[in-house]
Every structure is written in C-alpha cells, then in structure tokens.
Amino acid sequence: MKTIVWDVDDVLNDLMRVWLEQFWVPAHPGCKVSYEAIKGNPPHELLGVSKPEYLASLDDFRLSGRYERLEPLPEALAWFEANGARFRHVALTRVPVAAAHVTAAWVLRHFGAWIRSFHFVPSFRAGEDPPVYDEDKGAYLHYFGKADLLIDDTLENITAAQKAGVKTLVFPRPWNKSKLTVGQTLAAIDREIKS
C-alpha cells in the first residue's frame, strides 16, 4: 500500500485565509491585503510587519482556540472519504513545539480515520530550543523512508522532498503559482503515485 504524506496547514485546512480574514484584519482594520494577494509565504513584508510579529500573531491564533474550530478543506475531506482507504496517510507539518499538540489534535479529529501518524519538524520560535533531528521536511522524509508522495503548498518543502527522492504534488495556493485547481491536484494523486 502506497503512503501519502500530507502537509496540514493550507492543504487540509485554510489556515492562512482564516487567520488573515478573521484574526489579522479585525485586529488591523487598516489592512487592505486580500488572501489572493499573498504571493509570498510568510507574508510579513506584504503586511508591513516583521517576521517575528507575523509568527506571533499566527501562534496566537493557533493557541486561542480558533485553530481547533478550523473546518477541514471540503475538497480534501471529500477526497479522503472517497479514496482514503486505498492508501496509508501521514501528516507532516512545520509548527512550533508550543502549538504542535493543537495541530495534531485537529488532524486526528478531522482526518484520524485515515491519517494514523502525525509528525512535525519544529518551526523555530524565540524561547524554544528543541533538539534538531531534521533541518527540513526533506531530511525527515529521507529518515522516514516510506513516503511515496508528498502533498505540500510550500515550494521549499517540495524541493527538499524531491532531493530526498520523494514524488511531490504542489497544493495550489496564491504564493506558489500552481496552475492546477484544488480539484485537479487531488485528481492527480493516482497518476503521480503510480508514475
């Protein structure tokens, strides 16, 4: 049975859109940045703030109880309901240590029927100093050794996975310029995993 590795944020959910529209903009009423205008991730420069300020806001969202209320991306959930039992599934995300438990609980609540394994590469935050086992997702996937396909929205993760010998699919988001729709991307899983 083939193994698909799924990024979580902005693949299985709409974190950036919900954070921007429901958390950042209400706290910064002068902000006119739309989700579709985010052509780089992280978007701190577009928002006119430092990267630590952006990350602090994202972490505040994660730890405020709002992350737990994120809905799964409907297309992803529908794909799992129709196709999930045909593959093994692993979640692999980058998240700070302080918020990893929130992400893990969210994944298991919404996708636990299929995703039985949750892994994360810590995203650096000031004040956290976990041991570094893997520099990036590619290093983790090399160690893991069982991934047949990574689905991720971040091009750096895609490149790192490819260097580790793992096939990849870019999940379409404004910052990665994918030419496919979400539906087309999910429909391409069978083709990519068999090639």
Name the region of 108 (left: φ>0; alpha: ψ -120 to 50; beta: rest).
alpha
What's the CA gap between 195 and 191, in Å, rounded? 6
Average pLDDT, rounded, for the chain = 96
Mean pLDDT throughout 121-147? 94
Q: Are residues 57 and 87 in the same domain?
A: no
Residue 123: which domain range? 3-14+71-194
pLDDT at 168 over 90: yes
Q: Are residues 46 and 112 in the same domain?
A: no
**Number of separate domains in the chain:** 2
Q: Are residues 36 and 82 in the same domain?
A: no
What's the CA gap between 42 and 40, in Å, rounded? 6
pLDDT at 195 (0 to 100)? 65
What's the CA gap between 71 and 18, in Å, rounded? 10
Mean pLDDT throughout 26-49? 96
Q: Are residues 36 and 114 in the same domain?
A: no
Q: Are residues 81 and 134 in the same domain?
A: yes
Q: How confident is the model at residue 193 (pLDDT cuts 50, 70, 90)?
A: confident
